[in-house]
Structure 1
Amino acid sequence: MQEEWRQRYPLFPRLLFVLDGTGPAGVTTRINALHAAAKDPALTLFLHTVPVLAAALADLHTYGPSEPVWHPVRTVAWSS
């Protein structure tokens, strides 16, 4: 028997990368590396169905997770 809430939510609603341990230039480099990895054909189906976002931990602390601190690794169109 599956819980009722699991029937309404997708298995992976989104994948979030929180980046830390480097300055702003390092965060940019890591986000660029995620963009490069997103071009892997093996990830195509996954990346078309699951939004993948990245944010710097410092930005999350300063502005909060509901602010526009998230950078999409690849643009994804939500499907119901």
Structure 2
Amino acid sequence: MPVVPGRRPTLQEPAVEEWRRRYPLFPRILFVLDGTGPAGVANRISALHSGAGLLTTSRFLYEVPVLVAPLADLLQHGPSAPVWQPVHDPDRRVRWTETGHRQP
């Protein structure tokens, strides 16, 4: 049902955030890590993975891909290479265009 300007949404007409009108899907979140060496990058990926564990009860990580890659890997292989690690499954490597979720 279309939203009528100047009219408040009712319970039958849920409000839609303005960005959702232009972007029906939330854009993926990409973290590029640098400046700490391989051990520091591994620690940051581990911290992101731990933080992602707090979201397991929500659908956020399924609706919004969150990926991380070391800058060194991006420079060596390019951003389209499978150098991105899903924060919910950091042992995997995927392309940035993938969600990082395993197919059933």
Which TM-score applies when normalising by structure 2? 0.58
The higher-RCO structure (CA 8 Å, 6+ apart) is 1
Kindly report structure 1 stretches of 4+ aligned residues shifted beyond 6 Å.
none
- Native 8 Å contact 1:50 1:76 kept in 2: no
Q: Which residue of 2 aligns with 1:65?
A: 79
Q: CA separation in 2, counterparts of 1:35 and 1:61?
A: 23
Q: CA separation in 1, counterparts of 2:86 and 2:76?
A: 19
Greater Rg by CA: 2
Q: Which residue of 2 aligns with 1:34?
A: 48
Higher fraction of helix:
1
Structure 2 unmatched runs, 5+: 1-17, 89-99
Identical pairs, percent: 55
RMSD across aligned positions (CA): 2.5
Which TM-score applies when normalising by structure 1? 0.74
